[in-house]
Copies of this chain bind each other. A is one copy, B any other.
């Protein structure tokens, strides 16, 4: 026989909050590990709650995955925003690229599998991440460490595409990542006039 709380209501609320947390953390862990089938059964086993609870807590599996991915993106967005107030604009951009590569290396399989899902919170976080990236590039450009002969939006897309490619490369290695950062950052600098 379970111990009832004094009124019953606070206990139900506490349980709901606890279950929500367990379900969300389990889903984040499964997504971050990659290679897992993200089914209600698998999530409920990992979270240690019933399948009905998994569905009830977030309304749908898509809503749950959306909340989990949005949560996983949060630290990277925060790091990017913090980089904006670092004193050296080029080091700030470099640091953010290193973080973004590490994140994408760990999570690109997850990203590929989300392709067809409707994930509004995730889309908003991705937009926030793109915004932070663009801010870091714009700042570096304003401070004269990025060339101005290329459109800033094109540079942002270029950096996104290239960083993502290196992060998910089958031949990804420390030396490849370092060579990439050296070449991209040197190539983005204002270029001397050729003789």
Contact = CB atoms under 8 A, between A and B. Distances in A.
Interface of A: 149-151, 154-155, 157-158, 161-162, 164-166, 169, 171, 175-176, 179-180, 182-189, 191-192
Contact of A158 (B158, B164, B176): B176
A86 to B, nearest CB: 18
Chain A residues touching B, majority SS: helix
A134 to B, nearest CB: 14
Contacts of A180: 158, 162
B151 A175 contact: yes
Contact of A154 (B154, B157, B179, B191): B179
26 contacts: A149-B182, A150-B183, A151-B175, A151-B179, A154-B175, A154-B176, A155-B179, A157-B171, A157-B176, A158-B176, A158-B183, A161-B165, A161-B166, A161-B176, A162-B162, A162-B165, A162-B166, A164-B165, A183-B187, A183-B188, A186-B186, A186-B187, A186-B191, A187-B187, A187-B188, A192-B192
9 interchain residue pairs of minimum CB distance: A187-B187, A165-B165, A183-B187, A186-B187, A154-B179, A150-B179, A161-B169, A154-B175, A158-B179
